[in-house]
Structure 1
Amino acid sequence: MMTKQLEYFDRQTQQIQQEQIYGGAFLRLLYEKSIGKYLLPILAKPAWFSKLYGLVQKSGFTKRKVAPFIRKYGVDATEFSRQDFKSFNEFFTRTLKKGARPIADAALVMPADGRYLVIPDLSTCDGIWVKGKWFDLAKLLGSEALAEKYQDGALVIARLCPVDYHRFHFPCDCVASQPRLINGYLYSVSPLALVHNIDIFSENKRYITELQTQNLGTIQYIEVGATNVGSVVQTASAAPHAKGEEKGYFEFGGSCVMVLIEKGRVQFADDLLKYSAQKIEVRALMGQPLASIS
């Protein structure tokens, strides 16, 4: 079971850090207190709460929150391509200066800034945050046939926190399909929530895009919505794309990107293997090495 403090390994500093959880008290109320079972059906299952919250974050008066947020969470403002945000959502969906996220030579790179866990072989996985608890792959993908194809494949989970850069990118050269929407709820994807219900991944609203690649087979790229995410915006078309190209962005809220890879295609970076085996996330930046070809 997860401890009260969330820890992750920071690839930049090479140190274990404690996560500052934005809205942590609210999340603990929802997922760790008895009153949460009454509040969750009202706040997470219907879309109205997240839509309303998203609209509030787009209003002009929320821009006053930007500077205090940057100071409190140590966000690097020198990376921003602009500083004149008209709302908190504009800050949240910010773009970065050219070169702020160099793209590594690795076959597969990080698709987003976030906290990463990798599972090299799904057929041997005994759970992520809680031993023995796993989600339904067929339900996640909306397809029994796809689930069978990837049942012994590899999985990447990138958890984006509100403090992170919230645009997501293609992890490799590929030809992308049209994203496929599977409607669902909007539960939090924080480990504070996932430790109580790992099925959140397969219950939340999500988009699935198939990436056809030259050397890595067919990859399933999944964007998972979460509590207070106004929407998932797809900016890329169904077409060929280069590694590191923008695919889309999440509006306000924590969220998640998942990448499913066929069996035997990749070898994950050593730090990801080491810390994922200990159920510790690795914080990494978009464009950094994720995996090489097996």
Structure 2
Amino acid sequence: MPKIIYLDRLTKEKKQEKVYGNFFIDLLYEDTFSSRVISFFILPLAARFSFFSKLYGFFKKSSMSRYKIIPFIKKFDVDTSEFLEPVSHFCSFNDFFIRRLKPEARPIVQEENRAILPADARYLVFPDVREFPHFFIKGKKFSLKELLKNEELVDKYKAGSMVIARLCPVDYHRFHFPCKATPGQPRLINGALFSVNPLALKSNIKILSENKRVITMLATLRFGNLLYLEIGATHVGSIHQTFQVDKTYEKGDEKGYFSFGGSCLILLFEPNRIHFDQDLIKSSAQNQEVRGLMGQSLGSSIH
């Protein structure tokens, strides 16, 4: 597998990502003849039939899986001092995966005109969503129409701004509101569960518009109506919403969480609603993901 390099926003250092399950990512998504042959037969079964993810998820929720927690923490250098509960309280690997953090572990930027990163993830931002298709290769274009499956929303956001947040299995997997907002009714679009690893996305960017996803419109005072999408991925058949419809939430309040696996968030802002932070814009223009933490600044409102 080619090295996945990201920029750590805290240290300003470039780091190599430690990939969970890299053998299978290579096997199914690498651009080699053998991988193409194997993926032709195996990938449609594994990604398009939720049975496989449900079976794997069942194991991760069983008490047998708790013995994988400590080796995982050691291998991926997970900071246990941030955990709200001690590791000994986790009865399964999934309990560890959906862990809560101490509030002080993720301080929230307080300025009212500033939106925050909604999750611990690797970020790309696009001030104009129309700039996005050039980022990936092999001529497979990203389609807002396929992603949203709603012509009215496509027309509203086709010239808007977009955030892609890629969560890895090592990350804290709860996601939060990026600003003070009142959420509407979430809409489920069922789909496949392909990996959102960069190797997989560069092989087929249409994964983002083929995978299972949930779309929620957030009504906000400073950022207009923004769309919040949770996208499932390999072994992530479950997207859990913990918010109440039509209740107003403060910036940083929890919106929901993913069960085990890698996953992805997309935020879509209406045109001329947000000015992303310059470091995010600069790195994204260079096709460089930035690893940021929930609560850090995303950008400021334009109005």
Q: Given the alignment of the two structures, is residue 109 of structure 1 paired with residue 116 of structure 2, yes or no?
A: yes
CA separation of 1:216/1:91 partners in 2, compared to 1, >3 Å: closer, same or farther?
same
Q: Alpha-carbon deviation of 1:144? A: 1.3
Counterparts of 1:130 and 1:10, CA distance in 2: 24
Counterparts of 1:200 and 1:105, CA distance in 2: 35
Counterparts of 1:21 and 1:69, CA distance in 2: 12
Q: Given the alignment of the two structures, is residue 39 of structure 1 paired with residue 8 of structure 2, yes or no?
A: no
Unmatched 5+ stretches in structure 2: none
DSSP-derived class of the 1:139 partner: helix
Q: Which has the higher helix share?
A: 2
TM-score normalised by length of structure 2: 0.94
Report the residue type matching 1:118 in the other structure. Answer: V
| Preserved CA contact (<8 Å) 1:229 1:254 | yes
What's the CA shift string for 1:227-257, capped at 9, x where partnerless?
1014011011112111000000000000001
Alignment of 1:116-195 (within 5 A): 116-130=123-137, 133-195=140-202
Q: Write out the 4+ residue segments of structure 1 that deviate beyond 4 Å after TM superposition.
A: none
Other-structure match for 1:59: 62
Q: Alpha-carbon deviation of 1:105? A: 2.5
Q: Given the alignment of the two structures, is residue 220 of structure 1 paired with residue 227 of structure 2, yes or no?
A: yes
Counterparts of 2:59 and 2:135, CA distance in 1: 34
Counterparts of 2:110 and 2:85, CA distance in 1: 28
Counterparts of 2:285 and 2:239, CA distance in 1: 30
DSSP-derived class of the 2:23 partner: helix
Other-structure match for 2:25: 27
Report the residue type matching 1:184 in the other structure. Answer: G
Report the residue type matching 2:68 in the other structure. Answer: K
Counterparts of 1:290 and 1:37, CA distance in 2: 39
DSSP-derived class of the 1:99 partner: helix
DSSP-derived class of the 1:65 partner: helix
Q: Alpha-carbon deviation of 1:98? A: 2.2
Alignment of 1:253-272 (within 5 A): 253-272=261-280
Q: Alpha-carbon deviation of 1:145? A: 1.4
Q: Alpha-carbon deviation of 1:111? A: 0.4
Report the residue type matching 1:31 in the other structure. Answer: Y
Other-structure match for 2:294: 286
CA separation of 1:224/1:49 partners in 2, compared to 1, >3 Å: closer, same or farther?
same
Other-structure match for 2:91: 86
Q: Alpha-carbon deviation of 1:137? A: 0.3
DSSP-derived class of the 1:44 partner: helix
Counterparts of 1:241 and 1:75, CA distance in 2: 29
| Preserved CA contact (<8 Å) 1:129 1:191 | no
DSSP-derived class of the 1:57 partner: helix
Q: Alpha-carbon deviation of 1:173? A: 0.3
Report the residue type matching 2:29 in the other structure. Answer: Y
| Preserved CA contact (<8 Å) 1:160 1:166 | yes
| Preserved CA contact (<8 Å) 2:193 2:237 | no
Aligned residues with identical type, % of pairs: 52
What's the CA shift string for 1:250-293, capped at 9, x where partnerless?
00000001000011111111110111001110000001000111
Q: Given the alignment of the two structures, is residue 201 of structure 1 paired with residue 213 of structure 2, yes or no?
A: no
| Preserved CA contact (<8 Å) 1:128 1:134 | no
Q: When the two structures are aligned, how many residues end up with a matched partner?
A: 292
Counterparts of 2:134 and 2:78, CA distance in 1: 32
- RMSD across aligned C-alpha pairs, in angstroms? 1.2
Q: Alpha-carbon deviation of 1:200? A: 0.5
